[in-house]
Amino acid sequence: MLESYVLDSTATRHDMDSLARKYLDHQTILFEEVAGKGAKQLSFNQVAIEEAAPYAAEDADITLRLHETLWPKLQAEAGLRAVYQDIEIPLIPILAAMEQRGVLVDRKLLAIQSRELAKRLHEIEAQAHDIAGQPFNLGSPKQIQEILFDKLELPVLSKTPKGAPSTAENVLQELADQGHELPRVLLEHRSLSKLKSTYTDKLPEQIDTDTGRVHTSYHQAVAATGRLSSSDPNLQNIPIRTEEGRRIRQAFIAPEGCRLLAADYSQIELRIMAHLSRDEGLLAAFAADADIHRATAAEVFGIPPGQVSGDQRRSAKAINFGLIYGMSAFGLARQLGTDRGSAQRYVDLYFERYPGVKRYMDETREQAREQGYVETVFGRRLYLPEIRDRNGQRRAAAERTAINAPMQGTAADIIKRAMLRVETWNKGSGLGVTLIMQVHDELVFEVVEKDLELAKSGICEAMEGAAELSVPLRVESGAGHNWDEAH
């Protein structure tokens, strides 16, 4: 298996080593997933291999064991085999090429931002010490906790899993809203120091001295839902939410003569929910290409879409995201900042308007209990041994995962298929297009300037055709000299 795919690949001699290493890494990870860690029921994304446990202790040849354990299991299940052979294996050389190509980062711009952040952090620190009446380490949750809850005697709104008073963002935000000054200052310090340490300071250190680029690693067998993960550096959590954060994205740049092209799926998980649930209202909304959060708000609040207020749309958005995550009324209440009763009424009203969604959620939980796993549209499986746990909390967590995994996992399948389609199209296009990043529902390319328009239409077409669901897939794209401009 290993040998044949290495020989079949289109790799050049130059990148043969890194590609071969990626196949080996991949295989090693599979083996660890299959035979490692002493789990009772062992699973790689798709495959449960109970029989593999005895091999875990052996210092055995990995390839041989895979042939004996994983491969027969895959062959026996058509859906699993297809996911593995038609998606995961052909994706390997694409990921290897993205890693090797890397992303150009503007080191000087990050250095400027780092100095600005240092200055502001210093000012904030002095301000915080002044308010507290004593010096303390703003980076230490423990010391913050002592200052806020012992010295200043602010109310403890929430505790960490270990029982300590929490100083997390939402807690500080609530205290700040109550008019306390120190929490507001701490919040600003937290977000800015995160930007400085992770992005403006550490990221430049990871620029390769030979290529002048950062070369991430993508992992195929880490996320249980089938998503990719990215590390060293992680390019899937580059800031975007705040103005400060978006400046970091300005340091991800296109080389001379190129632009960055970013193409992302619009509301892909909600579209998948519409497809899986076959809910008429949801299907109709997407068929009409409606603003889905506005449409949801109109249904739930019983008003025409044109009369939906900003707050109502925000509430509907929270409900929609909550549904994808399998959220409870309690969690929704916390998100919306209302009481549990009101949140429950929203949920009840939602399920009244979208009965297909309610039915789908119930059926998914039931299916998970009966078969012990859930699956994506393309047959990727996630095993949920805790779905029958006697501990209610663990069982509830497994049920939320059961709800979420088919949607998150199908989205992962679709963008992986899109990457294969884009690369197939690209080989014959004769255009200067290079895939350089994947961020869950987004692909980023370096494109030679004169090819931009053709690239844009080719890429969007390949992405939108990556799956035939009962709702259309929509892709939005933009281009610019840096990643911020491309959005």
Partner DNA sequence: AACGGCTCGC
Partner DNA sequence: CTGCGAGCCGTTC
The nearer residue to DNA, 432 or 478, going by C-beta atoms, is 478
Judged by CB under 7 A, which stretch of 12-20, 166-174, 295-303, 417-425 contacts DNA?
A: 166-174
Does 149 interact with DNA (rule: CB under 7 A)? no
Does 164 interact with DNA (rule: CB under 7 A)? yes
Does 139 interact with DNA (rule: CB under 7 A)? yes
How far apart are alpha carbons 241 and 245 in whole angstroms? 6
Among 75, 211, 237, 371, binds DNA (CB under 7 A): 237
Contacts of 227 (CB under 8 A, 6+ apart): 408, 409, 412, 440
Among 19, 132, 297, 439, binds DNA (CB under 7 A): 439
Does 36 interact with DNA (rule: CB under 7 A)? no
The nearer residue to DNA, 285 or 403, going by C-beta atoms, is 403
How many other CB atoms are there within 10 angstroms of residue 354's CB atom? 23
Cβ-based burial of 320 (10 A; exposed 0-12, middle 13-18, buried ≥19): buried
Instruction: Specify the 3-state DSSP secondary structure of 228.
Output: coil
Number of residues forming the site for DNA (CB under 7 A): 69
Query: What token pair was written down for 4?
Result: 């044949």
Judged by CB under 7 A, which stretch of 111-119, 217-225, 443-451, 462-470 contacts DNA?
A: 217-225
Does 372 interact with DNA (rule: CB under 7 A)? no
Among 142, 151, 278, 345, binds DNA (CB under 7 A): 142
The answer to whether the CB of 482 falls within 8 A of the CB of 105 is no
141: left (phi over 0), alpha (psi -120 to 50) or beta: alpha
How many other CB atoms are there within 10 angstroms of residue 286's CB atom? 23
Judged by CB under 7 A, which stretch of 4-12, 103-111, 132-140, 367-375 contacts DNA?
A: 132-140
Does 401 interact with DNA (rule: CB under 7 A)? yes
The nearer residue to DNA, 82 or 222, going by C-beta atoms, is 222
The answer to whether the CB of 156 falls within 8 A of the CB of 165 is yes
The nearer residue to DNA, 294 or 395, going by C-beta atoms, is 395
Does 405 interact with DNA (rule: CB under 7 A)? yes
Does 156 interact with DNA (rule: CB under 7 A)? no
Contacts of 107 (CB under 8 A, 6+ apart): 204, 207, 251
State the nearest-atom distance from the C-beta of 31 to DNA, in Å. 18
Does 233 interact with DNA (rule: CB under 7 A)? yes
* Chain centroid offset of residue 163 CA: 29
The answer to whether the CB of 189 falls within 8 A of the CB of 138 is yes
Cα distances (Å, whole numbers) of residue 363 to 43, 217, 264, 297, 350: 23, 37, 30, 25, 17
State the nearest-atom distance from the C-beta of 393 to DNA, in Å. 5
Among 37, 241, 390, 427, binds DNA (CB under 7 A): 241
The nearer residue to DNA, 242 or 371, going by C-beta atoms, is 242
Does 219 interact with DNA (rule: CB under 7 A)? yes
The nearer residue to DNA, 191 or 367, going by C-beta atoms, is 191
**3-state per-residue secondary structure call for 315-375:** HHHHHHHHHHCCCCHHHHHHHHCCCHHHHHHHHHHHHHHCHHHHHHHHHHHHHHHHHCEEE
Backbone angles phi, psi at 255, to 5 degrees: -70, 165
The nearer residue to DNA, 310 or 392, going by C-beta atoms, is 392
Judged by CB under 7 A, which stretch of 7-15, 72-80, 275-283, 436-444 contacts DNA?
A: 436-444
Amino acid occupying residue 238: I
Instruction: Name the residue with tokens 């939602």.
Output: 350
Does 476 interact with DNA (rule: CB under 7 A)? no
Question: Which of positions 308-347 make contact with DNA (CB under 7 A)?
Answer: 321-322, 325-328, 330-332, 334-335
Backbone angles phi, psi at 377, to 5 degrees: -55, -35
State the nearest-atom distance from the C-beta of 137 to DNA, in Å. 5
Does 46 interact with DNA (rule: CB under 7 A)? no
The nearer residue to DNA, 11 or 138, going by C-beta atoms, is 138
Instruction: Specify the 3-state DSSP secondary structure of 39.
Output: coil
Among 214, 440, 471, 482, binds DNA (CB under 7 A): 440
Residue 406: cis peptide before it, omega within 30 degrees of 0: no
Site map for DNA, 84-123, x if CB under 7 A?
----------------------------------------
The answer to whether the CB of 259 falls within 8 A of the CB of 432 is no
Task: Point out which residues bind DNA (CB under 7 A).
Answer: 137, 139-143, 145, 160-162, 164, 166-169, 172, 187, 190-191, 193-195, 197-198, 201-202, 219, 222-225, 227, 229-234, 236-242, 245, 321-322, 325-328, 330-332, 334-335, 393, 396-397, 400-401, 404-405, 408, 439-442
